[in-house]
């Protein structure tokens, strides 16, 4: 059973989570990024039931993350491909993979998948980059500011963090 959605919530994280739907939606997106396209392959990869798989594929299609493409007639059979919006979710999945590899919750001998540059073959990682300088920024140094889409609840939710930041700035010695 699915939980209540995030409609009306002013939050980018909630929006992405709502678009994915649930854990099955996230795992289907993982499979699509790994190159799986067909219904039976999704079933084999995840062990998901037919009813749940059909529902999640329709949901991901309805959210604009995937589209169906006919690959056979008589009977009609479709494969599923990522849309541009769907490919954008790749960053979220790569970050989750990176954290999962670090945490090793399954206590594996090592990461099940590694991220590599498709041209050089060198290992890569998800990183935060300064938009102006291109320099890598530590997650510990990232701060959140209110954007133009913030509503009252977002302002309230962020107030403690913003207050801490302003207090830290006012406590800095004058230069």
User: Which tens digit of pLDDT belongs to each residue from 103-117?
Assistant: 998 999 999 999 999
Task: Write out the H or E segment, with its range, that includes residue 136.
Answer: strand 136-137
**Same-domain status, 84 and 16:** yes
Last residue of a domain, one of 65, 88, 111: 88
**Same-domain status, 45 and 84:** yes
- Looking at the DSSP assignment, which residues form a beta bridge with residue 60? none
**Same-domain status, 75 and 102:** no
Whether pLDDT at 1 is above 50: no
C-alpha to C-alpha distances, 39 to 7, 25, 70, 105, nearest whole angstrom = 29, 14, 12, 28
Structural domain harbouring 118: 90-126
Residue 33 lies in a domain: yes
Q: How many domains does the chain have?
A: 2
pLDDT digit string (tens) for 77-101?
Answer: 999 999 999 999 999 999 999 999 9
Residue 161 lies in a domain: no
Residue 169 lies in a domain: no
C-alpha to C-alpha distances, 163 to 30, 145, 146, 156, nearest whole angstrom = 38, 11, 12, 11
């Amino acid at each position: 059973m699915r939980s209540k959605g995030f409609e009306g919530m002013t939050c980018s994280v909630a929006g992405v989570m709502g678009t994915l739907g649930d854990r099955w939606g996230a795992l289907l997106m993982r499979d699509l990024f790994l190159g799986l396209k067909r219904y039976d392959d999704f079933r084999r990869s995840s062990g998901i039931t037919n009813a749940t798989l059909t529902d999640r594929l329709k949901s991901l299609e309805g959210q604009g993350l995937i589209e169906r493409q006919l690959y056979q007639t008589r009977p009609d059979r479709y494969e599923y491909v990522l849309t541009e919006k769907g490919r954008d979710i790749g960053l979220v999945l790569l970050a989750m993979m990176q954290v999962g590899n670090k945490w090793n919750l399954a206590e594996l001998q090592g990461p099940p998948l590694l991220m590599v540059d498709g041209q050089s073959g060198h290992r890569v990682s998800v990183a935060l980059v300064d938009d102006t300088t291109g320099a890598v920024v530590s997650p510990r140094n990232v701060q959140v500011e209110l954007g133009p889409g913030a509503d009252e609840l977002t302002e309230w939710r962020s107030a403690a963090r913003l207050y801490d930041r302003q207090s830290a700035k006012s406590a800095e010695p004058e230069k």
